[in-house]
Amino acid sequence: GEDVEQSLFLSVREGDSSVINCTYTDSSSTYLYWYKQEPGAGLQLLTYIFSNMDMKQDQRLTVLLNKKDKHLSLRIADTQTGDSAIYFCAGGGGYQKVTFGTGTKLQVIP
Amino acid sequence: ETGVTQSPTHLIKTRGQQVTLRCSSQSGHNTVSWYQQALGQGPQFIFQYYREEENGRGNFPPRFSGLQFPNYSSELNVNALELDDSALYLCATQDVSYEQYFGPGTRLTVT
């Protein structure tokens, strides 16, 4: 089965860029997702990338996929205090089950 | 706003009891998945339903069961509750685009 690993914690200053990293084991995932979860809330889909893509940009978000190293990253430009949350990467999609990492807590310092 | 709603928001049950959690999604979302998220963990896949049939299951015992209805609503049933079942239960629905839309979750506490 899929294993997805993330670092647990990241602290950045407001206005800087944040880069959250993720590694996964199963290269058969159709999609790779990034979700945001604020305290006490459900999961918000931020963006996703199809497995045959290398990069996707969506406003302040840039997703990079290195299929050779099975490495996924999410870059948030001009990080704001409202970006403070837990970020999950996940793989799967279509009619595959989606496997989530343990989450990276992003702390934005004003 | 994902258009996915879950009820109840919070629930407290006693060990050994049974619980039913509900999820409603948008029209056209034929696939629903249920996840268990323990405190400090990522969501764990319980099972998925497609057009009212179970379409995949994670590593959860048979006392976790589900139903999906033609009106795009679904249920998660858990029998013989255990303390370790305390968690946030999330449902996620998807349309043909494969984007999963999560509801806000039901927080279950088993005492």
- Pairing type for strands B10-13 and B106-110 reads parallel
pLDDT over threshold 90, residue B105:
yes
- Pairing type for strands A55-58 and A61-66 reads antiparallel
What average pLDDT score do residues A17-39 get? 89
The span from the first CA to the last CA of chain B, in angstroms, equals 32
What would the two tokens of residue B36 be? 């268990």
**Residues B42-89 pLDDT 10s:** 999 999 998 889 988 999 999 999 999 988 899 999 999 999 999 999
What torsion, rounded to 10 degrees, do the Cα atoms A13, A46, B36, B106 define? Answer: 90
The predicted structure's pLDDT at residue B95: 75
Q: Is B100 on the interface with A (CB under 8 A)?
A: yes
Average pLDDT, chain B: 91
Q: What percent of chain A has pLDDT over 70?
A: 95
**Residues A57-86 pLDDT 10s:** 999 999 999 988 989 999 999 999 999 999
Q: Is B45 on the interface with A (CB under 8 A)?
A: yes
Q: How many residues does chain B have?
A: 111
pLDDT over threshold 80, residue B26:
no
Contact B104 A102 (CB under 8 A): no
Chain A positions in Cβ-Cβ contact with residue B90 (cut-off 8 Å)? 42-43
pLDDT over threshold 60, residue A2:
yes
Phi, psi of B80 (to 5 degrees): 45, 60
What average pLDDT score do residues A22-49 get? 87
Please, are residues B42 and A102 in contact by the beta-carbon 8 Å criterion? yes
Q: Is A88 on the interface with B (CB under 8 A)?
A: yes
Q: What percent of chain A has pLDDT over 90?
A: 64
